Structure 1
Amino acid sequence: MDVFFAFVFLSILNNLLRRSRQVAPLPPGPKGLPLIGNVLDMPSEKEWLTFAQWGEQWGDISSITVLGQPMIILNSAKAAYEMLDKKSPIYSDRPVLQMGGNLVGWKNTLVLLPYGDRFRRFRRMFHGVIGSRASMKNFAQIEEAETHRFLGRVLTKPSDLSAHIRHTAGAIILRISHGYEVKETNDPFVQLADQATYQFALSTAPGGFLVDVLPILRHVPTWFPGAGFQRTAKLWASTLVEMVEQPHEYVKRQMAAGTAPISFTSSLLEKNISAEEEFDIKWSSASLYSGGADTTVSAIYSFFLAMALHPEVVKKAQAEIDSVVGNDRLPTLEDRPYLPYVDALTKEVFRWNAVVPTGEGLRTVSCPSSANHRRV
């Protein structure tokens, strides 16, 4: 164990030496301590609240340093727009997260994919199959059918609302991504997605693993004292691979049998593709349902919470539905243009209780005056 701590100490010194060679100053922020920087200032949970407090004290753009690794925090929509939208070619990259990205393997999904040719290919595939309202009409019947099933489950077992929401989100996303119709209970693909996304959250949590601060630790072998994170990463990587491979092979079997329904994966596999293109299809499809299976669930949770807290909103939304749709059928996506209050209500849920309070997440900033990258 002493050898491990010596290795860590040398890695910290290396980071600090690189940091000392930087010419461009960092934005203002809380003062750190020698060697460890702002390690003690980093929150262990609800980090967005702490970041917001720093924004009030230090302004729209602030910074901290953790063991020699700078982090820049944007605390206003204007600053985020100026950097991440208007100057996206400079700031669109993502930092390399050693634990979740490299060691577990999430770097192959869109959420951690570095900006470059593969990132652009992913975006083109998404846009071509599900990137417009016209293309999404291919899946409208799927969304409506699964929503009707969800309502039936809620009526039958309202006490299991949380499970119904998670089941339905997984069902819709898997049918769109892979044309797979989930089982009513204990579906293996839904369970895999839930397990993998839970592990993703743990592997990418700020300050969760020292290897993210000291990337050199990724070279530590699994038998080395203090290298338990390597064994954890290997276990989580196997879960991720199963989540990616199993639904993909399901689609290929269905296509070989001539029974594959239309889906994101099947529509792309119909072409004559290379091994690299199939790799992209496989991981972009996994990006769809691994991301949506968690964020969509969170948003729907927020909707039910909002309705429970604001019954007057429920009455107003129901009145609009009754006047436009009537009481002899359920609303469909075709009714959306005629339900402006309900449409605005769903958008307000996203604003009121943001699924990702820290915004778009981490980005990598290239600094012309330094060989280092800074996290935003």
Structure 2
Amino acid sequence: MLTITNVTWLDLLCLTGVGVYLVKQVLIKKNPAPYPPGPRGWPLIGNVLDMPRIKPWLTFAEWGQKYGDITHIEVLGRHIIVLNSTKTALKMMDSKSTFYSGRPVIPMVGELVGWKDSLPFLPYGDRFRQQRKNLHRVIGSRAAADVYNEIEEVETRRFLKRVLAKPDQLQEHIRHTAGAIILCISHGYEVKENNDPFIDLADRAVFNLSQATVLGAFMVDILPFMVKVPVWFHGAGFKRTARKWRETLEEMVSAPHKLVKDQMVAGTAPVSFTSTLLEGSHVSAEEDHAVKWSAFSLYAGGADATVSATYSFFLAMTLFPDVQKKAQAEIDAVVGPDRLPTFADRDSLPYTEALVKEVLRWNVVVPTGFAHCVTEDDIHDGYYIPKGTLIMPNIWFMLNDSRTYANPEQFNPERFLAKNGKEPETEPRTMCFGFGRRICPGVSNSHQLTNSLHLANAAIWISIAMSLAAFDISKVVENGVEITPEVEPLPGTISHPKPFKCSISPRSATVLELIEQDANHLVHDNTL
């Protein structure tokens, strides 16, 4: 007799598969068109065993080579479509955004950890639109985003000073700076120089998000009924993990929000995204909730992307010194030796701009994107896409597709510059932050990048430009041996390079003096 104490995951999968099969036999109806091609699944459980856990974008790319740009699999009755084409992704998720803008219910991260109230996981509807409306006031146009340029310049100057003092803590400095920029904008909060509690909370919350959304990482996402199993049940360790992650998330969302409200009562609140939305007429509980989560979504949508891209830049410059020298020569010619670059120089630094684009293409921040969910049955290119299907864009492949980028394995910023009558290659930001109405909340609409800047992109650009002006970045030499860093992404939905060593030194005595100047003389402009 099978007892509750010796039920295995395989037992649960088989029982669930049988249930799915029986329900399908009762409810089955003839499809109006065939499903897209894909790997053949097993009876009852479908393609459960085909789902990759390590570097899923590579497996998805193999499927694309074998089955075409649209690949279909089925996992315990849930349809999943993988897209390996930018053109197809745009046709589906941009042109048909009404049908393709849903978010799937992901039990672990949404219900158990509590991210269901944040913008990236909200279903398309009134609450989604309210948070989007709130965020549009901050990043909805170039003029709105430009208000925060001075904050980003100040914090980046401080970043240079930290790197100069402790170059071996590069990744920590990048995280600190990204958090400082967003928290200043979202809550008017100026972070502590060391061990800031909000920076620590935010980093843990976003790291937990990246782990919780890894494809197939938690059985509860494959077998949703397990949400109901008690904590003491054998194999329910995910519930204890979720409880700890939920406590971190709730504190990060609520603590800075409460700080702003307390400051407003005391009349000491700096002008910020949160204080502006809360001031004036009475704010209902629902509106307060929307403001609180909008502010956190601003952090979740921008900070980790900035960290990943900036760290990738330092890795690229360690590996490709010729590219670094060319960008530095451009900055030296335009900016000169007596100051650091500012946003005012951006339009005059085309190679540096191209370098930023190549960093975003070379190390894809979100390789498989966040899944969309189809809200209505659809026929696309002759294939049946049923309601509830998960849509997963293989963004990594799109940015490494030889049909779009010449020699994609090469790190080559010049691919984004017009030369000898040849047009630049495809702008990577049209895909690297997502598609349609579910594009990353730190980003403006992908078709409007020429007219508006998102906070993450601006922070990445100023960090790269100032770092190029200030530092020479090279390989570390240990015991007479030059150490070449490995290009290897860490696991997680948001891709970060594996930690690496590099040598960072000031380029000249003049630059050293510029870095040592106290950045505090620059005043934050908090006017919204």
**2:388 equivalent in structure 1:** 373
**2:17 equivalent in structure 1:** 12
Q: Distance in 1 between matches of 2:231 and 2:135?
A: 38
Q: Distance in 1 between matches of 2:366 and 2:226?
A: 29
Conserved 8 A contact 2:99-2:376? no
Question: Displacement, 1:281?
Answer: 0.6
Instruction: Check if 1:313 corresponds to 2:323.
Output: yes
Q: Distance in 2 between matches of 1:292 and 1:362?
A: 18
Instruction: Check if 1:347 corresponds to 2:352.
Output: no
Question: Displacement, 1:214?
Answer: 1.9
Conserved 8 A contact 1:192-1:243? yes
**2:144 equivalent in structure 1:** 135
Structure 1 residues 236, 2: CA separation in 2 closer, same or farther (over 3 Å shift)?
Answer: farther
**1:326 equivalent in structure 2:** 336
Question: Displacement, 1:57?
Answer: 0.3
**1:279 equivalent in structure 2:** 289
Q: Distance in 2 between matches of 1:370 and 1:27?
A: 8
Structure 1 residues 35, 156: CA separation in 2 closer, same or farther (over 3 Å shift)?
Answer: same
Q: Distance in 1 between matches of 2:226 and 2:30?
A: 27
Tell me, what secondary structure is at the counterpart of 2:374? Answer: strand
Q: Distance in 2 between matches of 1:136 and 1:14?
A: 52
1:169 to 173, 178, 195: 178
**2:305 equivalent in structure 1:** 295
Q: Pairwise mapping of residues 1-376 of structure 1 onto structure 2 (< 5 A)?
A: 2-3=3-4, 4-5=7-8, 9-20=14-25, 21=28, 23-24=30-31, 25-272=34-281, 273-358=283-368, 360-368=369-377, 373-376=388-391
Question: Displacement, 1:304?
Answer: 1.1
Q: Distance in 2 between matches of 1:29 and 1:237?
A: 36
What residue identity is the alignment partner of 2:362?
Answer: W
Greater mean alpha carbon deviation, residues 254-263 or residues 192-201: 254-263
Question: Displacement, 1:71?
Answer: 1.0
Question: Displacement, 1:314?
Answer: 1.4
Structure 2 unmatched ranges of 5 or more: 378-383, 392-528
**2:409 equivalent in structure 1:** none
Q: Distance in 2 between matches of 1:43 and 1:370?
A: 22
Tell me, what secondary structure is at the counterpart of 1:373? Answer: coil
What residue identity is the alignment partner of 1:335?
Answer: D
Structure 1 residues 337, 130: CA separation in 2 closer, same or farther (over 3 Å shift)?
Answer: same
What CA deviation, in whole Å up to 9, does each residue of 1:207-266 have, x standing for no partner? 111221222222223233332222222221111101100111111122222222222111
What CA deviation, in whole Å up to 9, does each residue of 1:4-46 have, x standing for no partner? 5566544333333445525434211111222222222221211
Q: Distance in 2 between matches of 1:326 and 1:371?
A: 58
Q: Distance in 2 between matches of 1:231 and 1:7?
A: 20
Q: Distance in 1 between matches of 2:372 and 2:3?
A: 34
Structure 1 residues 332, 35: CA separation in 2 closer, same or farther (over 3 Å shift)?
Answer: same
Q: Distance in 2 between matches of 1:171 and 1:269?
A: 22
Q: Distance in 2 between matches of 1:299 and 1:375?
A: 27
Structure 1 residues 174, 230: CA separation in 2 closer, same or farther (over 3 Å shift)?
Answer: same
Question: Displacement, 1:353?
Answer: 1.4
Conserved 8 A contact 1:51-1:75? yes
What residue identity is the alignment partner of 1:15?
Answer: V
Structure 1 residues 23, 105: CA separation in 2 closer, same or farther (over 3 Å shift)?
Answer: farther
Tell me, what secondary structure is at the counterpart of 1:143? Answer: helix
Q: Distance in 2 between matches of 1:197 and 1:122?
A: 19
**2:440 equivalent in structure 1:** none
Structure 1 residues 132, 224: CA separation in 2 closer, same or farther (over 3 Å shift)?
Answer: same
Question: Displacement, 1:372?
Answer: 5.4
Q: Distance in 1 between matches of 2:386 and 2:202?
A: 37
What CA deviation, in whole Å up to 9, does each residue of 1:59-88 have, x standing for no partner? 000011222222110110011001000000
Q: Distance in 2 between matches of 1:123 and 1:149?
A: 31
Conserved 8 A contact 1:173-1:293? yes
Tell me, what secondary structure is at the counterpart of 1:79? Answer: helix
Conserved 8 A contact 2:372-2:390? yes
**2:427 equivalent in structure 1:** none
Identity of aligned residues (%): 58
Conserved 8 A contact 2:312-2:363? yes
* Bigger helix share: 1
Q: Distance in 2 between matches of 1:305 and 1:276?
A: 44
Structure 1 unmatched ranges of 5 or more: none
Q: Distance in 1 between matches of 2:366 and 2:38?
A: 23
Question: Displacement, 1:55?
Answer: 0.4
What residue identity is the alignment partner of 1:100?
Answer: V
Tell me, what secondary structure is at the counterpart of 1:291? Answer: helix
Q: Distance in 2 between matches of 1:372 and 1:17?
A: 20
Structure 1 residues 36, 333: CA separation in 2 closer, same or farther (over 3 Å shift)?
Answer: same
What residue identity is the alignment partner of 2:88?
Answer: A
Runs of 4+ with >4 A deviation: 4-9, 369-372
RMSD: 1.9
Conserved 8 A contact 1:69-1:213? no
Greater mean alpha carbon deviation, residues 106-115 or residues 264-273: 264-273
Tell me, what secondary structure is at the counterpart of 1:114? Answer: coil
Number of residue pairs matched by the alignment: 375
Question: Displacement, 1:367?
Answer: 4.8
Tell me, what secondary structure is at the counterpart of 1:30? Answer: coil
Structure 1 residues 188, 111: CA separation in 2 closer, same or farther (over 3 Å shift)?
Answer: same
Question: Displacement, 1:292?
Answer: 2.3
Tell me, what secondary structure is at the counterpart of 1:175? Answer: helix
- What TM-score, normalized by structure 1, do the two folds share? 0.94
